[in-house]
């Protein structure tokens, strides 16, 4: 009787836990729907094609009034920051929804550079005094940040296309990258150059990766550099994608402050940031792809040829339908990656999203005909965003290769020429390797399918 009573009590506790978990999921889904609805309404009013073109022509490269509304009123930069620092205490899934909507409108803003790249590093590595000083200002939008990595090494430094601990990317020795030298007063001095820094020309605070130490203690650290520091020269670059501003930074004996206190796992923090950034970038790419598709569908419904809308022709229907399937597949993978927080899932989601964005941009130009390649039309904005994203954060093949490396798909398990997982010759070993690949990607595909079935009402 005692055993039966304990079992019944355990069942009741489990049911209560499941009910609480279900209620929490429903509440988070409602939060995401509200974020999506509010953002879409605001961006439809203030971030149309004319507004975007005007914003990129400003010295900042974005609409400061719109950023004030996004940050101060909606609190987008603080979505994923803890509540004790003025944030909303949400997670990557909520930030991904915001990025998807800003990507859909191709909205130029400091959201990616500040909230996705810089803020997580400050939260992970900063001292309590640094976090208390900077994160509340990031959350309310009064402070924008930029992550400066030398040599255009953003995807490698974030562990997206290669192991950031195995390949030198921050410069070393006496030349290359950015060098950091300790000063007698406890400060630091930086010397070097970093290019392709997102929003680097307008950010109020720069987070610079620099190499320091001789051979025995060679390491990469992150440093704060204030916008008006002596010896700092910032030049806005001419970029392919006008909606994503970049800059070149020259540092000539610039005073800097170390982020955190040594010892620091900077490379580990960059890899963790890269996982979350991959989800946000994938969501942004999915939004841009869907925005391009919506414009193309609208054009196909109104453009007439041979006395009927071109969208009524079966060949165009099939092309648009195939594109929708590709975009929705990328969207499901993105929401799956946001839910499980796995770097393999995140890398694959970003690769799929970049492919979908490139396909959507190409079809947009093709189905608009000659007008699609003119400067006055918006189709070229989507095409340039797709091309620039793959150059900045890819390529997609590199993302998939790194995901395969992380999952050890072609590692020692069932190694070539050895005793395979099926037991026997090297040929059988290949079978074991294939089984490993099938199992790893099968598990991911299954979780993605679950996310897709559960996300249809939440995401649509």
The C-alpha atoms of residue 305 and residue 320 are separated, in whole angstroms, by 17
Q: In 187-306, which ranges are continuous DSSP H helix?
A: 266-302
So what's the pLDDT on residue 455?
39
Cis peptide leading into residue 395 (ω within 30°) = yes
Q: Output the CA torsion sign for 293, 299, 301, 306.
A: negative
Q: What percent of the chain lies above the pLDDT cut of 90?
A: 65
So what's the pLDDT on residue 23?
80
- The SS3 call for residue 428 is helix
**Ramachandran assignment for 41, one of left (phi > 0), alpha (psi -120 to 50 degrees), beta (any other):** alpha
Tens of pLDDT along 256-274? 999 999 999 999 999 999 9
Beta bridge partners of 181: 189
The C-alpha atoms of residue 35 and residue 26 are separated, in whole angstroms, by 14
Distances (CA, A) of 179 to 146, 152, 165, 229, 263: 18, 16, 18, 17, 18
The C-alpha atoms of residue 28 and residue 34 are separated, in whole angstroms, by 10
Beta bridge partners of 226: 205
So what's the pLDDT on residue 454?
40
So what's the pLDDT on residue 404?
94
So what's the pLDDT on residue 215?
63
Contact 157, 169 (CB under 8 A): yes
Contact 329, 357 (CB under 8 A): no
Q: Tokens 């993978």 appear where?
A: 333
- What backbone phi and psi angles, to 5 degrees, belong to 149? -120, 130
The C-alpha atoms of residue 349 and residue 284 are separated, in whole angstroms, by 11
User: pLDDT in tens for each of the 460 residues of the chain?
Assistant: 555 556 877 777 787 788 878 887 888 888 889 999 999 999 998 888 888 999 999 999 999 999 999 998 889 999 999 999 999 989 889 999 999 999 999 999 999 999 999 999 999 999 999 999 999 999 999 999 999 998 778 999 999 999 999 877 876 545 568 999 999 998 999 999 999 999 999 999 999 999 888 766 788 999 999 999 999 999 999 999 999 999 999 999 999 999 999 999 999 999 999 999 999 999 999 999 999 999 999 999 888 788 888 888 999 999 999 999 999 999 999 999 999 899 999 999 999 999 999 999 999 999 998 888 787 888 989 999 999 999 999 899 999 999 999 998 887 433 333 333 333 333 333 333 333 333 334 444 444 444 334 433 343 3
C-alpha radius of gyration, the chain, whole number: 24
Q: Which two tokens stand for residue 307?
A: 């006395």
So what's the pLDDT on residue 61?
95
**H or E, element range at 146:** strand 145-148
Q: Tokens 């040594």 appear where?
A: 262
- The SS3 call for residue 191 is strand
The C-alpha atoms of residue 138 and residue 205 are separated, in whole angstroms, by 10
Beta strand 246-258 with 308-309 is unpaired
The C-alpha atoms of residue 165 and residue 42 are separated, in whole angstroms, by 42
pTM of the model: 0.85
The C-alpha atoms of residue 205 and residue 122 are separated, in whole angstroms, by 12
So what's the pLDDT on residue 310?
84
So what's the pLDDT on residue 422?
37
The C-alpha atoms of residue 254 and residue 250 are separated, in whole angstroms, by 9
Other Cβ atoms within 10 Å of 279 Cβ, number:
31
Q: Which two tokens stand for residue 144?
A: 């924008």
Among residues 319, 370, 343, 314, the alpha carbon closest in space to that of 92 is found at 343
């Amino acid at each position: 009787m005692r055993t039966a009573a304990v079992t019944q009590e355990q069942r009741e506790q489990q049911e209560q836990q499941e009910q609480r978990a279900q209620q929490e999921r429903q509440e988070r889904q409602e939060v995401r729907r509200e974020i999506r609805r509010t953002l879409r309404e605001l961006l439809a009013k203030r971030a149309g094609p004319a507004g975007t073109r005007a914003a990129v022509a400003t010295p900042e490269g974005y609409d400061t009034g719109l950023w004030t509304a996004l940050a101060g009123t909606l609190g987008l930069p603080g979505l994923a920051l803890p509540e004790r620092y003025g944030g909303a205490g949400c997670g990557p899934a909520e930030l991904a929804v915001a990025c998807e909507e800003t990507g859909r409108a191709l909205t130029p803003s400091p959201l990616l550079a500040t909230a996705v790249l810089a803020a997580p590093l400050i939260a992970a590595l900063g001292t309590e005094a640094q976090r208390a000083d900077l994160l509340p200002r990031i959350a309310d939008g009064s402070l924008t940040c930029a992550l400066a990595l030398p040599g255009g090494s953003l995807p490698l430094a974030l562990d997206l296309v290669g192991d950031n601990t195995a390949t030198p990317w921050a410069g070393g020795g006496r030349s290359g990258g950015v060098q950091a030298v300790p000063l007698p007063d406890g400060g630091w001095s930086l010397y070097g150059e970093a290019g392709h820094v997102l929003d680097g020309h307008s950010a109020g605070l720069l987070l610079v990766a620099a190499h320091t130490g001789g051979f025995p203690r060679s390491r990469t650290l992150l440093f704060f550099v204030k916008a008006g520091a002596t010896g700092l020269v910032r030049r806005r670059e001419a970029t392919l994608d006008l909606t994503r501003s970049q800059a070149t930074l020259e540092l000539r004996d610039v005073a800097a402050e170390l982020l955190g206190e040594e010892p620091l796992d900077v490379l580990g923090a960059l890899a963790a940031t890269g996982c979350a950034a991959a989800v946000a970038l994938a969501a942004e790419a999915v939004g841009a792809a869907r925005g391009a598709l919506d414009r193309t569908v609208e054009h196909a419904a109104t453009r007439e040829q041979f006395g009927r809308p071109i969208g009524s022709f079966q060949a165009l229907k099939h092309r648009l339908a195939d594109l929708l399937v590709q975009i929705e597949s990328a969207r499901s993978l993105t929401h799956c990656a946001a839910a499980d927080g796995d770097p393999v899932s995140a890398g694959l989601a970003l690769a799929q999203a970049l492919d979908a964005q490139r396909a959507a941009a190409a079809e947009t130009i093709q189905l608009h005909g000659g007008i699609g390649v003119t400067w006055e039309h918006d189709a070229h904005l989507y095409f340039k965003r797709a091309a620039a994203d793959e150059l900045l954060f890819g390529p997609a093949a590199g993302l998939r290769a790194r995901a395969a490396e992380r999952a050890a798909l072609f590692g020692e398990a069932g190694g070539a020429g050895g005793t395979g997982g099926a037991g026997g010759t090297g040929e059988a070993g290949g079978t074991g390797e294939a089984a490993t690949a099938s199992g790893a990607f099968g598990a991911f595909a299954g979780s993605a399918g679950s996310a897709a079935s559960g996300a249809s009402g939440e995401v649509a």
